[in-house]
A and B are shown apart, each in its own frame.
Chain A
Amino acid sequence: MQELANIFIKSIFIDNMVFAYFLGMCSYLAVSKTVKTSVGMGFAVVFVLGITIPINYLLENYVLKEGALVWLSEEFTTVDLSFLSFIMFIAVIASMVQLVEMVLEKFSPALYSSLGIFLPLIAVNCAILGGSLFMQERAYTTIIEATVFGLGSGVGWFLAIVGIAAIREKIRYSNVPPALRGLGITFIITGLMGIAFMSFMGIKL
């Protein structure tokens, strides 16, 4: 239990997707103009990460890894399909996003109308594929750990985008140098937020 809490906290604050690895920066910059849309986008990312990482975990451990196919037949102990992982992961992500979109549209129109426009964007959000690739690289031992890591990364991304959106809403009233307006100042503020988040790095979990 404690182990899981550690992974959760670590993936939110210490290994924050945005501030430590710059993942999902494109949508982070594009959708963070108002707090409302960024909350929608943030939820969609948490949701999709929470679904795709366990699926990709199963795929990695029962199909792709060296010797993972041993449950099919003893002959497959030396088969290593890990070079296919990019294409498999992205296929899972793209189809899950499509599936989630359809399920939401059918069963929860309210949620669909708030998340709907963000879902197609998410298929190409590097935070999602990055999450799966980090899961593969760090080799979590159980599916629960992987899921917790996915949710934690999602929450970290959510915090980052809502934070920057709130700052961007306020900064509209300030006197920013013209050439820095918009994109430039957002980069610099994100850098400053990243420095703030670095203070978590010293925490040993």
Chain B
Amino acid sequence: MSKSNLLSKRTKQLLSDPLNDNNPITVQVLGICSALAITVQLKPAIVMALSVMVVLSVANVIISLMRKVIPSRIRIIVQLVVVATLVIIVDQVLRAFVYDVSKELSVFVGLIITNCIIMGRLEAFGMANGPWDSFMDGLGNSFGYAWILIAVAFFRELLGSGTLFGYPVLESLGVYELGYENNGMMILPPMALITVGVIIWIQRIKNIKLVESK
């Protein structure tokens, strides 16, 4: 691919589609597990989103470079090995530089391996397209994933513990003196599901073509 069309219309679409019309979480239903489990606070959510971004875009490029030599019968195992290697690297980096967040994410760093966004995109895109497009697709999808993650974490942290990034926002605004209390439910797992459900609801009201037929 020549330099002039590095950011052609198609590649721009690869980047922007997953943000709304083809969002990995709310439309393709991929990668739900991690999206729900680590969204109690903003910080782990952002670390998780960045880790997925690195793993997804790099894995997509590697698989796309190897796509012509991977025998189709064993492609799942090849993909898993590539992803697992990248995740080990990410895990070691997290442990070295942000140990407390890495502890908080516990098994969910390892579970990036089986995050369906990654396998799904590798299968659907990396196996059939060139490396640059795959890279853009990886980036686009991880942005789509990241914004949902950050939105859910924002509401859960703000309403659940009254903080943002650990900073007591509500306290400094003086909301508690008006009789407001934190909603402890928001910290518990079920509310993550309901928050995502509401995001899907709002998105589909705005975007009629995503509504499912009966």
A binds B: yes
A residues near B (Cβ < 8 Å) are 19-26, 29-30, 83-87, 89-91, 94-95, 120, 123-126, 128-130, 133-134, 137, 172, 177-188, 190-195, 198
- Complex CA distance for A87 and B200, rounded to whole angstroms: 34
Tell whether, in the assembled complex, residue A185 and residue B197 are in contact, meaning their CB atoms are under 8 Å apart: yes
Question: In whole Å, how far is B95's beta carbon from the nearest beta carbon of chain A?
Answer: 9
- A–B Cβ pairs within 8 angstroms, 18 of them: A22-B189, A86-B91, A87-B85, A91-B80, A129-B114, A130-B114, A172-B214, A178-B211, A180-B197, A180-B200, A181-B214, A184-B201, A190-B193, A191-B191, A191-B193, A194-B190, A195-B190, A198-B188
Q: In chain B, what residue has the closest Cβ to A136?
A: B107
Binds A, one of B7-15, B32-40, B135-143: B32-40
Tell whether, in the assembled complex, residue B204 and residue A86 are in contact, meaning their CB atoms are under 8 Å apart: no
Q: Mark B24-66, 1 if CB is under 8 A from A, else 0.
A: 0010011111101100000000000000000000000000000
Question: In whole Å, how far is B13's beta carbon from the nearest beta carbon of chain A?
Answer: 23
B198 cross-chain contacts in A, Cβ below 8 A: 188
- Complex CA distance for A125 and B32, rounded to whole angstroms: 11
Interface residue from A94, A187, A194 paired with B200 (Cβ < 8 Å): A187
Tell whether, in the assembled complex, residue A123 and residue B111 are in contact, meaning their CB atoms are under 8 Å apart: no
Task: Apart from A86-B110, A124-B119, A186-B197, list 10 A-B contacts with CB within 8 A.
Answer: A21-B189, A22-B189, A25-B36, A26-B116, A83-B92, A89-B110, A91-B81, A133-B111, A137-B106, A184-B197
The verdict on B205 contacting chain A, using a C-beta distance below 8 Å, is: yes
Question: In whole Å, how far is A123's beta carbon from the nearest beta carbon of chain B?
Answer: 6
Top 3 closest A-B pairs, CB basis? A194-B190, A187-B197, A191-B193
Tell whether, in the assembled complex, residue A86 and residue B92 are in contact, meaning their CB atoms are under 8 Å apart: no
Tell whether, in the assembled complex, residue B80 and residue A123 are in contact, meaning their CB atoms are under 8 Å apart: yes
Tell whether, in the assembled complex, residue A30 and residue B29 are in contact, meaning their CB atoms are under 8 Å apart: yes
Chain B positions 93-115 with a Cβ under 8 Å from a chain A Cβ: 106-107, 110-111, 113-115
Q: A94-B80, A198-B188 are in contact. Are A22 and B32 (CB under 8 A)?
A: yes
Question: In whole Å, how far is A109's beta carbon from the nearest beta carbon of chain B?
Answer: 21
Q: Mark B120-144, 1 if CB is under 8 A from A, else 0.
A: 0000000000000000000000000
B212 cross-chain contacts in A, Cβ below 8 A: 181-183
Tell whether, in the assembled complex, residue A187 and residue B196 are in contact, meaning their CB atoms are under 8 Å apart: yes
The verdict on B169 contacting chain A, using a C-beta distance below 8 Å, is: no
Tell whether, in the assembled complex, residue B113 and residue A192 are in contact, meaning their CB atoms are under 8 Å apart: no
The verdict on B76 contacting chain A, using a C-beta distance below 8 Å, is: yes
B150 cross-chain contacts in A, Cβ below 8 A: none
Tell whether, in the assembled complex, residue A94 and residue B113 are in contact, meaning their CB atoms are under 8 Å apart: no
Interface residue from B29, B34, B205, B214 paired with A29 (Cβ < 8 Å): B29
B190 cross-chain contacts in A, Cβ below 8 A: 19, 190-195, 198
- Complex CA distance for A191 and B193, rounded to whole angstroms: 5
